[in-house]
Amino acid sequence: MRLSLPLAVLFAMSFNLHAADAPATGKTALVIHGGAGFVPRNAITPGERKAYHEALNRALDAGNAVLSRGGSALDAVTAAVVVLEDAPQFNAGKGAVFNAKGGHELDASIMEGHTRRAGAIAGVTTIRNPIRLARTVMEKSPHVMLAGDGAEAFADEHPEIERVPNSYFDTDKRRQQLEKAQRDEAAKGKREAYNGTMEAPTYFGTVGAVALDSQGHIAVATSTGGMTNKKWGRVGDSPVIGAGSWADERCGVSGTGWGEFYIRNAVAHDICARMAYRGDSLETAANAVVNEVVTAAGGDGGAIALDRDGNIAMPFNSGSMFRGWIRPDGSRGTAIHEGE
């Protein structure tokens, strides 16, 4: 059927209004990730595997405790991401990757779907839980994104934001990753001049959460240390609204992967836009963006996504993605590799 332009616009508007005005179902749902990557199954010891699952379950419990007492999706994603930031296994907060200078610069964003409020911070160095500062930007400043020294100065005005020395974020595992990346870079530098492309990273590790609360509202939070050996104040997709995080009335997405590709393809927003404009299901939209758009562009990674009916999608093109979920029927799980 071909619709004339005004009719098509009316049709699209009625679809949007319908989705936005539909009464809340009372269902709650939560999905989290601890980063996508090419982590070979045998590269994780049984002890590490157990610690990953435990951390993911602690984050699910923290988010679900909020949702099951009727709390907001915003509080639920904050609670879940704080747990993941505090867990040294993931590349956010404690355990964040090192930049090229041997320090840590952290990025985070948060968004509430039905109000379209959003907050983000980039390149902070002393904030124990960057997601809390992103939320403070959203709630207590007139801005959406603050970066570097300015974001730190904003934090100075909010004593409730816990500060730590930059070395708090150090872990031996991440230092070894930096040393390996710098050795590889030096060896490569001798072989060939920089040709404008980046070496494909093998493991990401950003954390994120998307929640649906009993009011039918959706929120998303994403937090990261970025990419190992990053230089020049590099900022990835995680604090970029529409790239690493997006939430609206019907859909929320948190991404993890090679951030440059996620920014160029507005990944998080594209997934939700496909649902809004084309009427795609969550599963179809999320799979298409991760497995077709990002893959075709040459990027790696995954995303977690959730819709207003409590459907959950967790596509990734990288062999593994640390993830966990609680569906509206209460069923829950955590997984690392494909097929789990």
**Burial class, 219, CB count within 10 angstroms (exposed 0-12 / middle 13-18 / buried 19+):** buried
Integer Cα distance of 288 and 282 in angstroms = 10
As measured in angstroms, the least distance from the Cβ of 11 to ligand ASP is 36
Instruction: Give Cα 247 to chain centroid, integer Å.
Output: 12
Length of the chain (residues) = 340
H/E stretch holding 109: strand 106-112
Based on CB atoms, which residue is closest to ligand ASP, 130 or 257?
257
Radius of gyration over every alpha carbon of the chain, rounded to an integer in angstroms:
19
Helix/strand/coil for 329:
coil
Based on CB atoms, which residue is closest to ligand ASP, 104 or 217?
104
- CA-closest candidate to residue 304, choices 139, 71, 59: 59
- Token look-up 């090679």 returns 258
As measured in angstroms, the least distance from the Cβ of 62 to ligand ASP is 21
As measured in angstroms, the least distance from the Cβ of 16 to ligand ASP is 29
Pairing assessment for the beta strands 207-212 and 145-147 based on DSSP bridges: unpaired
Based on CB atoms, which residue is closest to ligand ASP, 28 or 222?
222
CB neighbourhood size of 67 (10 A): 24
Helix/strand/coil for 200:
coil
**Burial class, 61, CB count within 10 angstroms (exposed 0-12 / middle 13-18 / buried 19+):** middle
206 is known as an active-site residue: yes
Q: What is the DSSP string of 17-75?
A: HHHHHSPP----EEEEEEEEE---GGGS-HHHHHHHHHHHHHHHHHHHHHHHTT--HHH
As measured in angstroms, the least distance from the Cβ of 322 to ligand ASP is 10
Based on CB atoms, which residue is closest to ligand ASP, 250 or 322?
322
* Two tokens, residue 53: 């699952």
- Give residues in contact with ligand ASP (CB under 6 A): 35, 91, 204-206, 224, 226-227, 236-238, 256-257, 259, 262
As measured in angstroms, the least distance from the Cβ of 262 to ligand ASP is 6
Question: Among residues 78, 125, 206, 228, which one is catalytic?
Answer: 206
As measured in angstroms, the least distance from the Cβ of 33 to ligand ASP is 9
Residue type, 88: P
As measured in angstroms, the least distance from the Cβ of 180 to ligand ASP is 17
- CA-closest candidate to residue 107, choices 63, 55, 54, 169: 169
Spatial contact of 305 and 312, defined as CB atoms under 8 Å apart = yes
Report the catalytic residues: 206
